Amino acid sequence: LAEFALPIINQSITFVAIEGKKNAQACITLKNLLQFHINSPDINNEKAVLLARDETLGNCLNLTEIIPQASVRYDVNDQRLDIDVPQAWVMKNYQNYVDPSLWENGINAAMLSYNLNGYHSETPGRKNESIYAAFNGGMNLGAWRLRASGNYNWMTDSGSNYDFKNRYVQRDIASLRSQLILGESYTTGETFDSVSIRGIRLYSDSRMLPPTLASFAPIIHGVANTNAKVTITQGGYKIYETTVPPGAFVIDDLSPSGYGSDLIVTIEESDGSKRTFSQPFSSVVQCYALALDVGILAAV
């Protein structure tokens, strides 16, 4: 038998009076069983319900009738509720995994993050200046999340331009362990190269599964000969820019837009010379994952 002596945090177990019972009985609901990592029993048994209650509260289950060899005991002195069930009824416990019954949408909120970078170099007969500003904004409302990203570029020779990308609304589909996205986004790229589309996407989210799968982003290594500007693009879209001093540099805080598209790294020295190299970037194909993408290819 597997014995549970679990402290209840931020919730309570109600004790109810049952006709024919001398003492009050613990009201254990289906939600409680999931939180205790006990597999859901068959509640269609006519003896399964100890006390019927409103749907929002959940019925009190007669655990000893629906799980063979189960017992429920309350220790008055220690104020502890002990639940004994056979080991076969115990769910496998995954480290750092939160049961879906405890998931919440979070609060309604708006957010904005940004990154600014200015660059100036001057040599006899040549002056080069540029300004780069990137932003990621969004709003959370109930289960829905609105997101948008973009950047502003200004250069001495080419002037200024705005570029917007990844404008979409998104929500979790907990029953499918998946995400639903409407708008502009990148395909997962787990089998084919990641592409930007405008449409509908439904795909498995490994973060909802135990154990969680670690995400991956490449680390960029390079060498600058002078005070240089380093720009990284993916799929024709600038995802990162920074200024580095002369010498070796490492960029390890990337957030690529999708998987499967190589990263193009450009190092622009203070004398105007440029060097470009490609950083391969791909992901391991995952089995038994859902991915449905319907839409049109977004212009690069």
According to DSSP, the β-strands at 291-297 and 196-204 are antiparallel
Nearest to 35 by CA among 103, 87, 106: 103
> Do the domain assignments include residue 152?
yes
Residue 137, C-beta contacts closer than 8 angstroms, at least 6 positions apart = 110, 111, 112, 113, 147, 148, 149
Average pLDDT of the residues of the chain: 81
Q: What is the pLDDT of residues 130-184, one digit of tens each?
A: 999 999 999 999 999 999 999 999 988 888 888 888 899 999 998 888 999 999 8
170 and 231 part of one domain = no
**Would you give the DSSP letter of residue 190?**
S
DSSP output for 104-159: -----EEEEEEEEEEEEEEETTEEEEEEEEEEEEEEEETTEEEEEEEEEEEETTTE
Range of the domain at 177: 109-209+295-299
Are residues 223 and 204 located together in one domain of the fold?
Answer: no
Specify if 126 maps to a domain: yes
**In the predicted structure, residue 1 carries a pLDDT above the cut 50:** no
Report the CATH number that the domain containing residue 265 is assigned in CATH: 2.60.40.3110
Q: Lowest-confidence range among 15-19, 50-54, 227-231, 286-290?
A: 286-290
Structural domain count, the chain = 3
Q: Answer for the pair 98, 71: CB distance below 8 angstroms, yes or no.
A: no
Residue 88, helix vs strand vs coil: helix
Residues 205 and 228 in one domain: no
Q: Residue 55 is part of a domain; what is its CATH number?
A: 3.10.20.410
Q: What pLDDT digit, counting tens, does each position of 231-286 carry?
A: 999 888 888 898 888 888 888 777 665 656 789 999 999 999 999 999 887 655 55
Cβ count within 10 A of residue 189: 20
Same domain for 180 and 232? no
Residue 45 domain-assigned (yes or no)? yes
Q: Are residues 113 and 159 in the same domain?
A: yes
Please report the pLDDT score of residue 8 as a whole number.
Answer: 47
The confidence band for 117, taking pLDDT boundaries of 50, 70 and 90, is very high
Helix count and strand count (H, E) for the chain:
2, 20
